[in-house]
Amino acid sequence: TLTAGVVAVQGDVSEHAGAIKRAAAAHGEDAEIREIRDAGIVPDCDVLLMPGGESTTISRLLHREDIAEEIVAHVEAGKPVLATCAGLIVASTDAQDDRVETLDLVDVTVERNAFGRQKDSFEAPLDVRGLDDPFPAVFIRAPLISEVGDDVEVLATWDDRAVAVRDGPIVGTSFHPELTDDPRIHDLAFFETVEASQ
Ligand code: GLN
C-alpha cells in the first residue's frame, strides 16, 4: 500500500485522492490517502501532493502548523511530490510575491495569475514529455513558470513557457491534473520518480 499525503490546509483535495487511487491501481497497488492539516503526518507518507488553492493562504498555514519543514525533509529524502497550481507556487524558489513564503523546493520563478482575465480558466490538450498522447490540461488562474533552474527538466510548455517541470523528486504543474479522469500526471510524478530514483 502506497501512503499518499494530500496537503489539506486549504484547496482541492478529494479529486486528487481519486486520481492517486487510479494511478496506484494501474500499478496493482492500493493507496491510503492521508489528509495533512497538522504536523506529524508527512513523515508517514511515501508520496505527497500539494494541491491548488490560494498560495498565500497555503504557505502561511504550512509554516504556522510546522508542516513546511516536514515537506522539505520529505524532498531531501528523495521521496516524490506532485505540486499543482498553487502547490507549485508554494514549492517554487520565487513567487515574486512577498505574501507567499516559498519552500524553495522547485528551482523555478513563477508568475501568479499569469494568463490574464480573458484566459483565466481554460482547457487545452498539452504535449507532456513522457506521455504518448496529449494530456487534457485544465488551467484555473494558473501560474506560468518564467525562469527555470539548470537542473530543472521542462515537461510541457504553453506559448513557449513552461507549465510542467520536474526537479529531482518533484513534479510541478501549472494546471490541474486532478480535474479530469486521466491519472497519467499522478502516475508520472509518483511511480516514475520512484522507479527512476532506484
Ligand atoms: N491563483 C492561485 C494563486 O496564485 C492559484 C490558482 C489555483 O491553484 N487554481 O495562489
Return all residues near 73 (Cβ < 8 A) that are at least 6 apart.
Answer: 42, 43
- Which atom, in ligand 1's list, is nearest to the CA of 52? 8
Residues 172 and 81: their CA atoms lie apart, in Å, by: 8
Residues with active-site annotation: 85, 176, 178
Q: Is residue 151 within 8 Å of 167, Cβ to Cβ?
A: yes
Q: Per-residue DSSP letters for the chain?
A: -EEEEEE-SSS--HHHHHHHHHHHHHTT--EEEEEESSTTSGGG-SEEEE--S-HHHHHHHHHHTT-HHHHHHHHHTT--EEEETHHHHHHEEE-S-TT------EEEEEETTTT-GGGSEEEEEE--TT-SS-EEEEEESPPEEEEE-TTPEEEEEETTEEEEEEETTEEEESS-GGGSS--HHHHIIIIIHHHHT-
Best mutation site among 88, 97, 113 for ligand 1 pocket (most ligand atoms within 8 Å of CB): 113
Q: Is residue 123 within 8 Å of 139, Cβ to Cβ?
A: yes
Q: Is the CB of 5 under 6 A from ligand 1?
A: no
Q: Is the CB of 174 under 6 A from ligand 1?
A: no
pLDDT on residue 63? 98
Confidence (pTM): 0.95
pLDDT on residue 197? 46
pLDDT on residue 11? 78
**pLDDT per residue over 152-183, tens digit each?**
999 999 988 899 999 999 999 999 999 998 99
Q: Which residues of the chain have pLDDT under 50?
A: 196-198
Residues 100 and 92: their CA atoms lie apart, in Å, by: 10
14 appears as a binding residue in the annotation: no
Going from the Cα of 195 to the center of ligand 1, the distance in angstroms, rounded, reads 30
Going from the Cα of 55 to the center of ligand 1, the distance in angstroms, rounded, reads 6
Please state, in angstroms and as integers, the Cα–Cα distance from residue 88 to each residue in 49, 132, 184, following that order.
10, 24, 18
Residue nearest to atom 5 of ligand 1 (CA): 86
Walk me through the domains of the chain, giving residue ranges and CATH numbers.
Answer: 2-196 (3.40.50.880)
- Which atom, in ligand 1's list, is nearest to the CA of 55? 10
pLDDT on residue 94? 98
